[in-house]
Structure 1
Amino acid sequence: MQFSAGLFTIALAGFAALTSAQPHRHSHHGRAHVKPRDMYTAWVTKTVDQNGNPYAAPTPTPSASTHSPQENKAEPTPTSASEFSFASSAAAPTGSPTIPDDLSAGTNANKGVTGIDSDFPNGELDCSTFPSAYGAMPLSWVTKDGWSGIQNGNANDDHIGVCTEGALCSYACPPGYSKAQWPENQPLDGQSRGGLLCKNGKLYRTRDSYTKLCQAGQGTAKVENTLDKMIAFCRTDYPGSENMVVPLSADPGTTTTLTVPSADNSYVWRGNPSSAQYYVNNAGIDLQDGCVWGPPNGGRGNWSPLVVGAGYREGKTWLSISQNNLNSDAANFNIRIEAIGDAQCSQDCRYENGKFSTGDAVGCTVAVTGGVAKFVLY
């Protein structure tokens, strides 16, 4: 599994920690290649290094110094020698996704989203029309027309800000949902592409097997904020440019659905289903300041202190909290994973006063069975 910019395929043994190692190459406004990764998963008991070679003990892999100083991307480190990854050979999970009922909770950027269950009409909307009438959530602080990323061949056109001829134009979906459009034929070099295609001045779906723009997650994770300040959760836009711009605003006193992709309908990279990664900013940083490529050592965006992961397979929800290895500073809040009702968590996983309950310096993971769990911010 050769991959030029590096890739960790993470494995799981028992209930070891889950993380999302995401190597990137990201250069300002004209980046030629943006390397993927949400969490890659395979039910195996080995890990591989960034060249796909098996090895025993994962070690930190800092981002390359060639990144733009404005846009240096974190690569969260695997947290143990045996970690989590979904294998393509494993049986697909059963059951239907739970559609969240809190799409307008708090002051999330998704207020006013409509048509999330409507089929997208191929070739009818002009490329200049952002498809908010079909569930897509515009991000005004990212691009001029609200796209979460614009890929044109090997170029990134976010700085242009509009969906141009031949481009793949990506979009955010509300909390509880994931982007459902990406080309089923992906580049052989391992890069990812995602979004709608602008062709002959009109927008077209790129995934023939799915007619909507957004698909529901498993509905098995929430975020509850007991603090008096909001916290910005910023999901990577993947497959695509992997900007960490897809927002969830955890507002004071609210509980909001966190998207948990199911392995049976998530994007598959070289046989491995993917899950979700969220950069978690310090309390008090708003979405427009937190869900961006942050300045070096700025403590926000890709430099935020914490990373949260979520995925679902075969009746288990896997949730993680990990330290962003670009930022060793403690977050200004605490966070724990807590089962709701009859659900059960495999172990205690919390980040409190800058330390993890498991004693691991990098992070912790739980397997949730029998229902729903929540990330409690306190």
Structure 2
Amino acid sequence: MKFNSVALTLATAGSMVAAQHQHRHRHHHKREVVTVDGPTVVEYMLNGQLITPEDVCDGITDGSLAWADGKPAGDPCQTTSSTQTYTPTLAPAKFIETSTSTSTSTSTSTTTSTSTSTSTSTSTSATITVSVPTATSVQSSATSSASSSTATGLDASFPDGELDCGTFPSDYGAIPLDYLGIGGWSGIQYVTLVGELISDIITAVTGDDCTDGAMCSYACPPGYQKSQWPSTQGATGQSVGGLECKAGKLYLTNSDLSDKLCIPGVGGVKAKNTLSEHVAVCRTDYPGTESETVPVSLVAGATEDLACPDGATYYQWEGKTTSAQYYVNPKGVSQEDGCQWGDGSKPIGNFAPINLGVGENSGKWLSIFQNSPTTTELLDFNIKIQGDDLSGSCKFEDGSFISDTGSNDSGCTVQVMSGDAYYIFY
């Protein structure tokens, strides 16, 4: 049975205006899968974490919470308890932090606070028309069967070989992307190993699962990036990444780098949305499927971290340093639409007009460039790089890329000499 996830976003009252590597490979795709819609799951999110309808109702009533995108059709205060249960395994489709300052905090903090910059809430969701076990029983069962130790999010060491392949490791900091329809994973690759190289890669499509022989990749919160990929890579230069499903269990593939699933980048790079509409920024799942499925979702006025990989320690392609690549969708495009493979009918997803390049390689380098040769479509807003100490200037404004050396139609790059740098959407 498939559940449709509907995310209704909340903000703390008064804080709604808050805060690669370029080569691309064509993979073989599996069969087409027909998906049948099922019951609707309504989820309420506060700072990227799910919140119960009761807490929503209490917050709306006492004025401590407000709707971030306008009042929805459904009213949690009128939902009857007989048709309402909570399932923490059904995770939100997007992560949104609200803050009144330019600094942000990770949305996976386990501490609840009323502060507008750090408040989080228990991760639950409300199923409206289907009776399932309570949140307590579901979580208890999942924890006892998945791991011999109690997870603590980003700080938890992954229990190698303990979790079933059908269990998405959200307790260990990974962010589930349910809208992709592959069990929360950001990408799944079914690989064939010949000698010390992977000779063939089949990329999962909607409805597929993380099964034996698969590499199962995952997204991390803004400012963090996955730590796992195998030393064995594609025979013709394809990248492969994620956890390995072996004998029904999930295993680390790069424990020498970290036993934590998500690791921070070098820091100091952020995106700030000064527009009145949402902007979906999508990082490529790299190493992995190289589809732009890893989301950084910016509501109006928000500021989020962009993970900047350290070239000396992060993934290297054929011995060469790699960077992170982000796709910038037109304003108003949702994360669910923008952060997945597109069909070219709209300038979204892999057809989004603009790419951002972020990397550390003998200096921190930031770029803005046209998504060529995929599209000549122009982005419908401007982007500029601002910082404490930059080597020069770089912006995309009114259809042109402008730097200290003039303007062009391809792109520009600057080095961050010190301090923080921001991609400003305006």
* TM value normalised by structure 1: 0.71
- Secondary structure of the residue that 2:355 maps to in structure 1? strand
1:23 Cα deviation after fit: 2.8
The corresponding residue for 2:164 is: 126
Structure 2's unaligned 5+ residue stretches are 1-19, 33-102, 109-115, 124-151, 192-200
Map 1:34-45 → 2, pairs under 5 A: none
Q: Structure 2: which amino acid aligns with 1:139? A: L
Query: 1:264-305 CA distances to partner (integer Å, 9 max, x unpaired)?
Result: 221011111211001100000010010111122410001111
Mapped partners of 2:322, 2:162: distance in 1: 31
Q: 1:352 aligns with which of 397, 422, 425?
A: 397
Q: Verify: 1:320 aligned to 2:323, yes or no.
A: no
Q: Structure 2: which amino acid aligns with 1:157? A: A
1:162 Cα deviation after fit: 1.6
1:158 Cα deviation after fit: 3.1
The corresponding residue for 2:142 is: none
Query: 1:19-58 CA distances to partner (integer Å, 9 max, x unpaired)?
Result: 8532321455459xxxxxxxxxxxxxxxxxxxxxxxxxxx
The corresponding residue for 2:143 is: none
Mapped partners of 1:189, 1:331: distance in 2: 33
Counterpart contact for 1:30–1:156, Cα < 8 Å? no
The corresponding residue for 1:171 is: 218
Counterpart contact for 1:143–1:149, Cα < 8 Å? no
- Secondary structure of the residue that 2:343 maps to in structure 1? coil
Q: Verify: 1:194 aligned to 2:241, yes or no.
A: yes
Between stretches 142-151 and 170-179, larger displacement belongs to 142-151
1:214 Cα deviation after fit: 0.9
Mapped partners of 1:277, 1:305: distance in 2: 13
Mapped partners of 2:397, 2:104: distance in 1: 30
Mapped partners of 1:112, 1:151: distance in 2: 32
The corresponding residue for 1:263 is: 311
Map 1:1-378 → 2, pairs under 5 A: 20-26=21-27, 28-29=29-30, 102-104=105-107, 115-153=153-191, 154-209=201-256, 210-314=258-362, 316-325=363-372, 326-339=374-387, 343-358=388-403, 359-378=407-426
Higher helix proportion? 2
- Secondary structure of the residue that 2:367 maps to in structure 1? strand
Mapped partners of 1:112, 1:174: distance in 2: 16
Change (3 A) 1:206 1:319: same
Counterpart contact for 1:29–1:159, Cα < 8 Å? no
- Secondary structure of the residue that 1:150 maps to in structure 2? strand
Query: 1:138-171 CA distances to partner (integer Å, 9 max, x unpaired)?
Result: 0011133111111111212233432111111111
Q: Structure 1: which amino acid aligns with 2:307? A: T
Query: 1:59-118 CA distances to partner (integer Å, 9 max, x unpaired)?
Result: xxxxxxxxxxxxxxxxxxxxxxxxxxxxxxxxxxxxxxxxx9522399xxx997861121
1:192 Cα deviation after fit: 1.5
* TM value normalised by structure 2: 0.64
Q: Structure 2: which amino acid aligns with 1:142? A: L
Mapped partners of 1:23, 1:200: distance in 2: 31
Counterpart contact for 1:220–1:317, Cα < 8 Å? no
Corresponding residue pairs, total: 286
Change (3 A) 1:30 1:360: farther
Mapped partners of 2:122, 2:425: distance in 1: 26
Mapped partners of 2:255, 2:392: distance in 1: 40
- Secondary structure of the residue that 1:116 maps to in structure 2? helix
Mapped partners of 1:318, 1:164: distance in 2: 38
Counterpart contact for 1:144–1:161, Cα < 8 Å? yes
Mapped partners of 1:307, 1:112: distance in 2: 34
Q: Structure 1: which amino acid aligns with 2:274? A: T
Q: Structure 1: which amino acid aligns with 2:232? A: N
Query: 1:186-222 CA distances to partner (integer Å, 9 max, x unpaired)?
Result: 2343221111111111110011302111110011201
Counterpart contact for 1:147–1:161, Cα < 8 Å? no
Q: Which has the higher contact order (CA 8 A, sep 6+)?
A: 1
Counterpart contact for 1:307–1:322, Cα < 8 Å? yes
- Secondary structure of the residue that 1:229 maps to in structure 2? coil
1:179 Cα deviation after fit: 0.8
Mapped partners of 1:115, 1:329: distance in 2: 40
1:133 Cα deviation after fit: 0.3
Counterpart contact for 1:143–1:162, Cα < 8 Å? no
Q: Structure 2: which amino acid aligns with 1:247? A: P
- Over the residues paired in the alignment, what is the CA RMSD in angstroms? 2.3
Mapped partners of 2:22, 2:172: distance in 1: 32
Mapped partners of 1:112, 1:283: distance in 2: 30
Counterpart contact for 1:338–1:375, Cα < 8 Å? yes
Q: Structure 1: which amino acid aligns with 2:425? A: L
Mapped partners of 1:198, 1:248: distance in 2: 27
- Secondary structure of the residue that 2:286 maps to in structure 1? coil
Identity of aligned residues (%): 46
Q: Structure 1: which amino acid aligns with 2:381? A: F
